[in-house]
Structure 1
């Protein structure tokens, strides 16, 4: 009987050992799972995409006069810190000049002789006004003047671009957007959302796909003309956003 009691005690001891080990491992797993879950950030704010922002801005333009200012920048392909020319256009929505678009084009004097071999750019074909030759030190002054003069009397100012983040990155050395109240829209992102596409498209491709938009393909690849076409594209996208 003694040896039976010994075997019985041994079996009970092994059972207790494995039970305690399993409980310990399970406890560690619970702690580990809870820790990793605690590290996942909560999403407290709904992302508002550019297409929704555009539709909202246009719906409210009868209450808040809005100026949309497009920017296009070209930099030398061998040194992206050297800007060769800048284009800007402005369109008022909700004001008396709802159908008027104003455009500007500046060529940078220090870099006017820098030519690209692979990137398309033609600084000499601006068709919506006269090209102005300015120095690098005047870039911020010229852009700020556009925002201050055209934004006066407007409740909202919107910066527009096709691939606007890249455009603002090129300008970062010379100019920054005026304040946190400025809204930013990207016609490239709007195109992707409206056409249910994930791939980025060039401005030319976006213009081609806009059936109600007329433009001259020969005037593309000039920042002044491109800025104008970006606003034309935005107006077309605004009409489409109302149907979403």
Structure 2
């Protein structure tokens, strides 16, 4: 353990720090790469700084209550020495010489307390993960409240000025930027967890703790053999695509559905890129009878008459919800097995389902959702969302007649399969494994031994 951290290891919640100990506001730590770094260095510093904030590192959190009557949140502090250790780590990995700004801005990184018997920061606890910080903040109300009544007028004034100065140092957009960056990082990691859950549902990955726990990724598996892991339950993937009229997005013209049942895939070798499973996909295409003459041409070229995977069906607008319900399921369905909804920018298609009279959030079968746009962003480590056609081309999938809802639903499901195989193969022997990615890429990954976590679906 670092010698500087030994100073605090025996402290218990509520203990006061030593007089003269130097502290830095926690928000200032988080804001550092956004406020005090040259613009041309910012991107790489921000990535590494945030992604390694808790990498083999523990922070001792202290707290001071606002002495004013302003309703400001308590001031969360960490020892300045711990911040400097993290800065040293960043410098060594990026070969930089980042430091503390000069003048008054730099003084806020080394604040001391206790002059003239004013309050000292009180120990909250130790945080070795980002999730531990909000948990420790819940303890604040249990801390003793310092009595300021015995302070002289001058001491109280000086203490309030010092605290106002620290609060003022946090009053800009830096904290918001840092929070936005953390949310972005978590969102990007969730894309990777989505891929991992899909792999587990398909029997391509094991859960943590499941035998053999030594290899949950089956890097040596032959794709011409059945899947290496027992699929997690009997699950149906249902891909959705809905076409709306370009002159009024409230007018829905086509619905496409494509279904892949893991009861079918479990004994069929997927082959290279999962192509062996493509014939197992059952596709359906519905044209809304009342809007069959509304064909898009201005921004995209619609082709409702060119369904490549069967025969299109015409259905009345008021009956569409019931037709969809029979496929996906509801409380009355004989098939109550879990359904994973797949889509490209899936949230929009889910909202369109509701307009058609089918509220998927009321279907007990619906447990998880996959978004191929997000999954492909993770695959390419890019913040740019790609169109379905681009994704299919980059995956090497032979596709034609896009913007037919039945075709697009099928291509979306094929793309999901292609993505999970491409990601799985990227971890095979002889290639760079996720766990050994450069530190600057950590914002995308929780590591190869993360299993995707529990199912996730959007709120209604």
TM-score range, shorter chain: 0.7 to 0.9
Query: What is the distance in 2 between the residues matched to 1:139 and 1:120?
Result: 24
Q: What is the CA distance between 1:224 and its match in structure 2?
A: 0.5
Query: What is the distance in 1 between the residues matched to 2:352 and 2:336?
Result: 29
Going from structure 1 to structure 2, the CA distance change for 1:192 and 1:115 (only over 3 Å counts) comes to same
1:230 aligns with 2:412: yes
- Rg (Cα) greater in structure: 1
Q: Which residue of 2 aligns with 1:124?
A: 305
Aligned mate of 1:24, from 142, 156, 160: 160
Q: What is the CA distance between 1:25 and its match in structure 2?
A: 2.5
1:152 aligns with 2:345: no
Q: Is the 8 A contact 1:68 1:92 kept in 2?
A: yes
Structure 1: unaligned runs, 5 residues or longer: 1-15
Q: Which residue of 1 aligns with 2:92?
A: none
Aligned mate of 1:168, from 340, 350, 353: 350
TM-score (norm 1): 0.77
Q: What do residues 110-139 of structure 1 show as CA deviations (whole Å, max 9, x unaligned)?
A: 111223322321100012111111111111
Q: What is the CA distance between 1:140 and its match in structure 2?
A: 1.0
Q: What is the CA distance between 1:18 and its match in structure 2?
A: 5.1
Q: What is the CA distance between 1:23 and its match in structure 2?
A: 2.0
Query: What is the distance in 1 between the residues matched to 2:366 and 2:326?
Result: 17
1:115 aligns with 2:295: yes
Query: What is the distance in 2 between the residues matched to 1:65 and 1:127?
Result: 28
**What is the RMSD of the two structures over their aligned residues, measured on CA atoms?**
3.3
Q: What is the CA distance between 1:216 and its match in structure 2?
A: 3.2
SS at match of 1:166: helix
Q: How many residues align?
A: 220
Q: Which residue of 2 aligns with 1:191?
A: 376
Q: What do residues 178-217 of structure 1 show as CA deviations (whole Å, max 9, x unaligned)?
A: 2485210001111100111111111000000003x3x232
Q: What do residues 73-132 of structure 1 show as CA deviations (whole Å, max 9, x unaligned)?
A: 000112111100010010112546854111100000111122332232110001211111
Q: Which residue of 1 aligns with 2:197?
A: 53
Going from structure 1 to structure 2, the CA distance change for 1:124 and 1:80 (only over 3 Å counts) comes to same
Aligned mate of 1:136, from 317, 325, 328: 317
Q: Which residue of 1 aligns with 2:71?
A: none
TM-score (norm 2): 0.43
Structure 2: unaligned runs, 5 residues or longer: 1-151, 207-229, 269-276, 428-460
Query: What is the distance in 1 between the residues matched to 2:352 and 2:412?
Result: 18
Q: Which residue of 2 aligns with 1:210?
A: 395
Query: What is the distance in 2 between the residues matched to 1:106 and 1:140?
Result: 11
Q: Which residue of 2 aligns with 1:74?
A: 243
Q: Which residue of 2 aligns with 1:3?
A: none
